[in-house]
Structures are given as structure tokens and as C-alpha cells.
Amino acid sequence: MAALDEADRRILRQLRLNARITNSALAAEVGLSPSACLRRVKLLEQTGVIRGYTAIVSGALPEEGTIAIVQVELERQTEEFLARFENALRRHPEIQQWYLMTGAGDYILHVQIAGIEEYGTFHRDILSRLPGVSRITSSFAMRSNRRA
């Protein structure tokens, strides 16, 4: 897709707020007919602008586990290394979010796991074996202020 126009940007804004919105409601919000809106959404999906939809599950309850914020440094920062690393991240649902960063580390990962012992196993068996990893620094959330 060449460039996003204003209608595409309105669609993306609305989908970021509510990815479960019906097509007819989305069309009304962005000022398009339902067929034009659906056509644009499908094109955004096909061209990779929209890469998927996800459910964000609350981790605020103690029985839902421990949150680790993990800083990862890679051996290299070439596009090939970054792509291999991100593809590997997608295979592990415990890694709920990640960010390619500027500054000291290359990536920040938000990991949700059952507990500290399980994190030790996850660190040893998964994180340390991700492609290109040279250093891992982990911190654990003690309190959270999540917005609904």
C-alpha cells in the first residue's frame, strides 16, 4: 500500500480503540459506506498495515501470575537479526508485548508468567535461546496501574 489517506487513518484509530467494532459501526464512525469501509479494512490487512487482532487479558489478579519486564540486547541490529528475533518472540504467548528501543538495550519485553520459579525456567529454556541474544536483564512488577 502506497500511503495511508485520512480515511485509512480514521479506520486505524477506531480499530485501535475497539478492534471488535462491527463493520457497520466502524463505517459510521469514519464516515464511509459499509462496503467501502470493509474494502479498506481488507486492503489494510492484505498489505500488512493491520498485522492481526489480539485480546489484551488483565494480569492484575495474583492468580494470573507474575509480570517481568525484560531488557534484551542483541549481538547485531541488522534487519535480518531483528526479523529473526521478532519472529521467535511471536511463538511464545508469555511474551505479551515487545518494543524495539533506542538507548541501552535493543528490546523491552513484557512477559507474563505463573511465578518466579516458572520465570527461571522460561529464562533458561526460552529467552536465553532466542536468536541473536547477547544479554538479558529482568525486572519484576511489584504493583501495576493498568487502565481499562
4-39: per-residue pLDDT in tens? 899 999 999 899 888 899 999 999 999 999 999 999
Is 148 part of a structural domain of the chain? no
Is the pLDDT at 60 greater than 50? The verdict is: no
Question: pLDDT band at 41, cuts 50/70/90?
Answer: very high
pLDDT given for residue 58 in this prediction: 52
- 40 & 73 share domain: no
- 42 & 75 share domain: no
- Percent of the residues in the chain that have a pLDDT greater than 70, as a whole number: 90
Residues 135 and 41: their CA atoms lie apart, in Å, by 39
DSSP-derived secondary structure letter, 128: G
Largest CA distance in the chain: 53
Is 56 part of a structural domain of the chain? no
- 17 & 82 share domain: no
- 42 & 109 share domain: no
pLDDT tens-digit profile of 116-137? 888 999 999 999 999 999 999 9
pLDDT tens-digit profile of 65-121? 789 999 999 999 999 999 999 999 998 988 989 999 998 889 999 999 888 888 999
pLDDT given for residue 120 in this prediction: 92
Range of the domain at 110: 62-140
Residues 110 and 64: their CA atoms lie apart, in Å, by 14
